Amino acid sequence: MINDNELFDIIGKNVKYYRQLYNLNHEKLTQEMLAEKINVSTALIGNLESNKINQGISVPTLYRLSQALETPIDNFFKLPAKYQKK
């Protein structure tokens, strides 16, 4: 079982990963634009994407992120292959 800090790290990496993936297939979506779209602060998105800060996130916010980034919510709990240890 993973601890809270590891979970926050996985979610944060996924926010960054899926925002970058979104940018490849749609118009550019900056941290600021994403924050505005889901009605949170830019600092929250920045903290989530930073590997230096473990930022908690509410379920409603995670749901809005999944909708905005057009990815199933459960994807935020899976570590993308590019971050997995080989």
d(CA 41, CA 44): 5
Q: Print pLDDT tens along the chain (86 aa).
A: 888 888 888 999 999 999 999 999 999 999 999 999 999 999 999 999 987 777 788 999 999 999 999 999 999 998 766 666 65
Per-residue tokens: 45:
């998105």
Three-state SS at 4: helix
d(CA 3, CA 60): 21
* Cβ partners under 8 Å of residue 36, min gap 6: none
Strand (E) or helix (H) holding 66: helix 59-68
Do you know the residue count of the chain? 86
Q: Is the pTM of this model over 0.75?
A: yes
